[in-house]
Amino acid sequence: MNDRDREAELRYVAHQVRNALNGVAVNLEVARGRAQRGIDVAQIAPFMDTATQQLEAVARLYKRYTELVTELTTEGTGPEAPSTPADTL
């Protein structure tokens, strides 16, 4: 894999991380709103589950993200290699 491919994958992974974090935020908001209104827990749990799954996805993606950044900073020569996750996100 060359630097260009790594950078493309890095952008994709960053996009996926953002999406997953959005999924966490939205599903937590559903759970919060329903909990506030005293809605039955059975109608809250699926959204908590989805938020959890999204967090797990973030963890997986972040692992791949760090791998790519490491490869780019240790092996790569491109000056565009991001130094922090925030730079990419």
**Among positions 21, 62, 64, 71, the unique one binding another protein when judged by CB under 8 A:** 21
Which of 2, 22 has the CB closer to another protein? 22
Rule CB under 8 A: is residue 19 a binding residue for another protein? yes
Contact code string over 25-54 relative to another protein, x by CB under 8 A:
xxx-xx-xxx--x---------x--x--xx
Rule CB under 8 A: is residue 71 a binding residue for another protein? no
3 state SS for the chain: CCHHHHHHHHHHHHHHHHHHHHHHHHHHHHHHHHHHCCCCHHHCHHHHHHHHHHHHHHHHHHHHHHHHHHHHHHCCCCCCCCCCHHHHC
Which of 9, 71 has the CB closer to another protein? 9
The structure tokens listed for 27 are 């599903």
Which of 1, 25 has the CB closer to another protein? 25
